[in-house]
Amino acid sequence: MNWTTIWSQAAAPSFAMGMLQGKKKTVVFPVSSPISGERIRFRFSNIYGKKPYVIGAVTVRAKEQPIPVTCGGKRAFTIPTGGYTFSDPLELSVAAGETLEIRLFYTSKAQDSNMTLEEAVAYHGDHTADEVLPEVKKESYKQQYNLYDAVVSLDRVEIESEACSRLIVAFGDSITAMNRWVKPLQKRLFARFGGKYTLLNAGIGGNCLLYQVPGFMGSSYGEKGVARFERDVLSFNNLHTVILALGVNDVAYYTKKTEQTISFDIYTAAIQKLTKTLKERGVRVVMQTLTPREGFVKKGYTPEMEALRVKINAWIRDCGQFDYVFDADRLLRDEKEPSLVDERYHQGDHLHPNTMGGERMAEAYDLAALTGEES
């Protein structure tokens, strides 16, 4: 029997240093399993927290029934600092394609966080055992900036099954983390291959490959990609393919002051190093071109930044070092003004794909090229 990760997210310090993820909240969200199995377990992260935190209750709702999750035999349990804690395995028969509802109640504030699930809803108080959840209105600032409720502290859900699923990890920034292209691509993979492949999301909003963003908000953008790569990508068992989708944020920080950290040569050398590491492990490498960014911030995006993006994309297309190049730039850009995302495909901020843009990306992926399967 083997444990296969069916859902994951890369941990980062919580948004605004935890100001928006308080204690005594329940977060509710769905997880779909591409494989069948008889047991499930959860992994909780506390790599950024300065003190332990308490999970007050966890339930899995399967077939309309709430099933409690324990750790060390206890319904309420403490997650120590400095690493990861697994729950006790829960005996639960899960069918391939089945969607489970996860409910987590946090007694105390947790620091490790991410915003990857548009369907996640946070409620005040403990609602892990409720038959009917209360109505909740999304805060206006979350609606304005298209922010999701965070799934705090949980970073993996695993199923024990006889057959291993081959893992594909999308390693990116908010364009990946928002799941607008990852989720529909997951559905396409399942429709074609069943549980043979599982696509996981390792995106963090605001993340860069090379640059560690300073300041109050910078910490919530996660550690730079070259620093978190081993933890968020290489740590998975049965890793089959990695989609590299980082760089559009680096380009936006490119100035005279940062050129010792961000440049064409430094970027391409870093991507080549990650690629070499993956190929030495027998892992396929898919590289996405960097999508347009002009217009995301009204001021500050310079011609030099755009020239760097264009130069990087030309290298990605022509260097011949990847198993598959997915040209997200060509797919989403405005053909008349290629420094801009086509108005049909962004969520109103000129950067992040909307539902149509995400579906367009997912549908354009060549599944044979992505997986290495024969057509």
For the chain, domain boundaries: 2-157, 165-371
Residue 170 has pLDDT above 70, yes or no: yes
Residue 42 has pLDDT above 90, yes or no: yes
CATH code of the region 165-371: 3.40.50.1110
Q: Tell me what percent of the residues of the chain surpass a pLDDT of 70.
A: 96
Secondary structure letter of residue 29 according to DSSP:
E
Q: Which residues of 295-309 are buried (b: 16+ CB within 10 A; e: fewer)?
A: bbeeeebeeebbebb
Q: Which residues of 3-15 are buried (b: 16+ CB within 10 A; e: fewer)?
A: bbbbbbbbbbbbb
Residues 6+ apart with CB under 8 A from 173: 203, 204, 205, 206, 207, 208, 245, 246, 248, 249
First to last CA, the chain: 30
CA distance 341 to 330: 10
CA distance 210 to 90: 40
**What pLDDT, on the 0 to 100 scale, is given for residue 118?**
86
Calculate mean pLDDT across residues 298-313. 93
**What pLDDT, on the 0 to 100 scale, is given for residue 298?**
63
- Report yes or no: 48 and 12 within 8 Å, Cβ to Cβ: yes
**What pLDDT, on the 0 to 100 scale, is given for residue 75?**
97
Calculate mean pLDDT across residues 103-124. 89
Calculate mean pLDDT across residues 337-342. 97
Class of domain 2-157: mainly beta
Residue 189 has pLDDT above 80, yes or no: yes
Residue 20 has pLDDT above 60, yes or no: no
Mean pLDDT value across the chain = 93
Please name the amino acid found at residue 11: A
Long-range contact set of residues 190-196: C-beta below 8 Å, sequence gap at least 24: 190/34, 190/97, 192/367, 193/367, 193/371, 193/373, 194/34, 194/96, 195/34, 195/35, 195/36, 195/96, 195/163, 195/165, 196/165, 196/166
Confidence band, pLDDT 50/70/90 cuts, at residue 116: confident
Rg (CA), the chain: 20
Establish whether domains 2-157 and 165-371 are of one fold. no
Confidence band, pLDDT 50/70/90 cuts, at residue 57: very high
217 vs 278: which has the higher pLDDT: 278
- Can you tell me whether residue 167 is helix, strand or coil? strand
**What pLDDT, on the 0 to 100 scale, is given for residue 135?**
87
**What pLDDT, on the 0 to 100 scale, is given for residue 22?**
58
